[in-house]
Amino acid sequence: MTVPCSSAAPVQQKTALVVASGTDIDELLRSVLASDGWSIHHAVDNQHALALATTDPFDLIVTGRKMLGPDDVELLRKIRSARAHVRLIILTDRFTPGDVISAIREGAFSYFSAPFDASELAEMVRAAMTSPCWDDGIEVMSATPAWVRLAARCDISTADRLVQFLRGVRDPEIPEGIIYAFKEVLLNAIEYGGNFDPSQHVEISFIRARRAVACRVKDPGQGFSLEELRHAAIDSPADDLLSHVAVREAQGLRPGGFGLLLAKKLVDELIYSEQGNEVLLVKYVDPAISQGA
Amino acid sequence: MGLQVSIRKSGDVTILDLRGKSTIDDGESELLDSHLQKLVASGARKLLLNLADLTQVDSSGLSVIVGTCVSLRRQGGDLRVLRPSGLVLEVFRVVRLLEAIPSFEDEAQALASFGSRGYVASSS
């Protein structure tokens, strides 16, 4: 994946199509979209949405929660075959983890599975309304139920989308802690390894084993030595937890340094490669292992 | 929701009521940093962050809070937190920040810990 960023122009025509989800979600979407002056059209179901989308060039489509996940992906495929850069956010009550992967492959902007977090949904809609380029941001390199390999562009918006896709899987054995840890490591990779350069990509693998979930993140940078981390909280002595702040100031670094420490504490194992540009997060789902029994 | 910050005063303590999240996502932590830096620049030395309605914090939010705390202590002031809960409390716990930054469940006790005297004014 070397294409730096879609050449699609920033959104000019502010027109959204919302498939009915029910009063609460419909009202939330209306308030978010209307607050930025978007014109809103409504469809009763996916068939209606497809009919409308074939005649009107919508910039953003939000599916209805009552539709099945695979049906939403099919809608996405049909619409994007005619209008490649449309942003489509899938909302669904009924789905499988495979549907989420299919949605990424087909170029969904985001994926929300019930129960919905209204504030997260509102923020993702706002991101869809403003992202100038997005549709080459995440690429599925390979996927089986146990092992998914992705490449993600080095920008924060793409990181947010990827984290939401992971949350959309709703796997009860992927605890929020590893998602938090993944996000911290991913942001480190994007900032320090990729320098927020949208022409660069981070490689990611999610591995679902019988007794553990693991996540590997490889950034495009030169790596670093773990011995040189005095500017990070992970290296602060136990009796002076904030000592890294002065080190960062002396080195002219912005406030920070908690990402690695937070990630390490939220998983069972955090392992770096020798070069320092690959990290592996492991969370045991077998309580006997995580307790060291 | 992003981050909403309301500012009020109680004696010489400035209280920031935070609602939403302080993460890097849409610049919320940057917004918090901006508020805190303005307050410190204008002479505030005793800051109490009310985290009761803060739903998320990531490393960027922690860094802003810690950076301000260290800066204030160098100037003879301090920063304390009020009612962290849920994911925010979990994050504070796992990085052992509660050992470095005093946390309170009761606002009156938090104010008293600064040695402030009485409720003087309120603003937003």
Where do the structural domains in chain A lie, given as residue ranges? 13-132, 137-293
Highest mean pLDDT, choosing among A172-186, A233-247, B53-67:
B53-67
The CATH number of A137-293, from 3.30.565.10, 3.40.50.300, 3.40.50.10540, 3.30.420.40, is 3.30.565.10
pLDDT band at A37 (very low <50, low <70, confident <90, very high): confident
Looking at per-residue pLDDT, the higher value among A172 and A155 belongs to A155
pLDDT band at A1 (very low <50, low <70, confident <90, very high): very low
Which residues are B8's β-sheet partners?
Answer: B15
Measured between beta carbons, the chain A residues lying within 8 angstroms of B24 are 156, 187
pLDDT, mean of residues A52-80 = 89
Sequence-separated (6 or more) residues with CB below 8 Å from residue B102: B78, B80, B81, B110, B113
Q: How far apart are CA A283 and CA A261, in angstroms?
A: 15
In tens, the pLDDT along A213-250 reads 999 999 999 887 766 777 788 777 777 778 888 888 78
The minimum CA-CA distance between B124 and chain A, rounded to whole Å, is: 23
Q: Which of A122, A242, A256 sits opposite B60 (nearest CB)?
A: A256
Q: In percent, how much of chain B has pLDDT > 90?
A: 75
Given a cut of 70, whether residue B117 has pLDDT beyond it is no
* This model's pTM is above 0.90: no
The CATH code belonging to domain A13-132 is: 3.40.50.2300
Measured between beta carbons, the chain B residues lying within 8 angstroms of A266 are 94
Confidence (pLDDT) at B122: 37
Confidence (pLDDT) at A227: 66
A245/B66 Cβ within 8 A = yes
Measured between beta carbons, the chain A residues lying within 8 angstroms of B95 are 233, 241, 258, 261-262, 265
The minimum CA-CA distance between A81 and chain B, rounded to whole Å, is: 31
Contact A150, A138 (CB under 8 A): yes
B24/A256 Cβ within 8 A = no
Find the helix or strand (DSSP H, E) in which B109 lies: helix B107-114
pLDDT band at B23 (very low <50, low <70, confident <90, very high): confident
The minimum CA-CA distance between B66 and chain A, rounded to whole Å, is: 7
Picking from A147-151, B38-42, B54-58, which range would have the lowest pLDDT averaged per residue? Answer: B54-58
At A131 the three-state DSSP class reads: coil
pLDDT band at A70 (very low <50, low <70, confident <90, very high): confident
Q: In percent, how much of chain A has pLDDT > 90?
A: 43
Given a cut of 80, whether residue A159 has pLDDT beyond it is yes
User: What residue ranges define each of the domains in chain B, with the CATH number in brackets?
Assistant: 3-114 (3.30.750.24)
pLDDT, mean of residues A272-288 = 89
Contact A198, A153 (CB under 8 A): yes
pLDDT band at A12 (very low <50, low <70, confident <90, very high): low
Looking at per-residue pLDDT, the higher value among A261 and A227 belongs to A261
A265/B2 Cβ within 8 A = no
Looking at per-residue pLDDT, the higher value among B14 and A35 belongs to B14
Given a cut of 80, whether residue B123 has pLDDT beyond it is no
Picking from A36-45, A160-169, A235-244, B94-103, which range would have the lowest pLDDT averaged per residue? Answer: A235-244
Confidence (pLDDT) at B33: 93
Find the helix or strand (DSSP H, E) in which B105 lies: none
Given a cut of 70, whether residue A290 has pLDDT beyond it is no
pLDDT band at A171 (very low <50, low <70, confident <90, very high): confident
Mutate which of A31, A242, A253 to test chain B, going by most B C-beta atoms within 10 A? A242
The reply to whether ipTM tops 0.85 is no
The minimum CA-CA distance between A48 and chain B, rounded to whole Å, is: 31
- Chain B residue with CA closest to A122: the answer is B1
Looking at per-residue pLDDT, the higher value among B122 and A68 belongs to A68
A176/B58 Cβ within 8 A = no
The minimum CA-CA distance between A211 and chain B, rounded to whole Å, is: 23
Given a cut of 80, whether residue A292 has pLDDT beyond it is no
